[in-house]
Amino acid sequence: MTPKNISIIGVPLDYGADRRGVDMGPSAIRYAGLHEKLRQVGHTVADLGNLTVPVPESRPASDSRLKYLDEIVKVNRTLARTVEKVLKEGQYPLVLGGDHAIAMGTIAGLLRVRPKMGLLWFDAHGDFNTEDTSPSGNIHGMPVAVAAGLSRTELASPFKGTYLDTAKIVYVGVRTLDPDEAEALRQSNATVFSMHEIDRYGMREVMRRAIDIVTDGTDGVHLSFDIDALDPIYAPGSGTPYSGGLTDREAHLALELLAEADVLTSMEMVEVNPILDEHNRTGELAANLIASALGHRII
């Protein structure tokens, strides 16, 4: 892999979900030795610290359909500007969450520089709900729909009218969808490799197909990795666990294949919840997965 100048951006956002604790995710991943792992691979690492995010206890959830809308929009606008600046300076953005609502800010910033970007979305869930379809009002279940231009709310404001081409969105590891969300995905041009396809074809073939899609005619590839893509046996520190997920080796293989292809131009790791974890197992797994995506090899 080509050595990269990596800029780490922590986003301790804890507004997008019902369960608390993911605001400590960036610290847990850093504590697991992330910086040293990346330097050992040969990358240069600069840590920009964490964006400022007020704690939820200081803000009421004003809208049950879009909980903490104003707070999430504010953080994502700041994140979009930060990611845009990092890219324009020739750096590789590595964003650490926080809940998956931060992906709106990350992707919005990326699209300002790479408007034809492809997206790889590793997740147990689709995150393709809108304000009209979400059964919970939790915004961490909406970022892909917003990035695809399907929201009519302020959530779309960081995108400034530039959205993802759904034909260049590829999901890996999905295993639970809300009914309306599933229908919306079927009507979109996104590609969904659920656990069924991974079981049926194997991770190597799934990643071959995924890489072909996200690199065809694009000007960059972003990896957004929700730790709940893995089975909770391997990643207990997740606020939305769902059985039947990826094994740790399947996840590492997928990211090792991405490193071999050297196609990623940015990355984020989200939803690590230390409160629910066991001796930082999930934080360490997240750090190791990031290292695999950025070129770490056993030998």
CB 142 within 8 A of CB 134: yes
Residue 61's pLDDT is: 61
CB 217 within 8 A of CB 115: no
* Residue 256 to residue 233: CA distance in whole angstroms: 21
Task: Tell me the CATH number at 69.
Answer: 3.40.800.10
Residue 84 lies in a domain: yes
Q: Which of 221, 284, 275, 214 is nearest to 248 (CA)?
A: 284
Residue 299 lies in a domain: no
Q: Could you please report the per-residue DSSP string of the chain? A: ----EEEEEEE----SSSS--GGGHHHHHHHTTHHHHHHHHT-EEEEEEE-----GGGS----SSSTTHHHHHHHHHHHHHHHHHHHHTT-EEEEEESSGGGHHHHHHHHHTT-TT-EEEEE-SS-----TTT-SS--GGG-HHHHHTT---SGGGGGGTT----GGGEEEEEE----HHHHHHHHHSS-EEEEHHHHHHH-HHHHHHHHHHHHHTT-S-EEEEEEGGGB-TTT----SS--SS-B-HHHHHHHHHHHHHHT--SEEEEE---GGG-STTHHHHHHHHHHHHHTT----
Residue 120 lies in a domain: yes
Q: What is the mean pLDDT of each run of 10 residues along the chain (299 residues)?
A: 95 88 97 98 98 78 81 97 98 97 98 98 97 94 97 96 98 97 96 98 98 98 98 95 95 98 98 97 98 92
Residue 133's pLDDT is: 94
Domain count, the chain: 1
Residue 40 lies in a domain: yes
Known catalytic residues are 100, 123, 125, 127, 140, 226, 228, 271
Task: Give the number of other CB atoms < 10 A from CB of residue 164.
Answer: 24
Residue 55's pLDDT is: 81
* Residue 69 to residue 62: CA distance in whole angstroms: 8
**Nearest 10 degrees: CA dihedral of 70, 72, 78, 84?**
-130
Residue 58's pLDDT is: 61
Residue 157 lies in a domain: yes
Residue 225 lies in a domain: yes
Is the CA virtual torsion 209, 188, 113, 86 positive or negative? negative
The model's pTM is 0.96
Residue 298 lies in a domain: no
Residue 212's pLDDT is: 98
The residue segments making up the domain with residue 245 are: 5-293
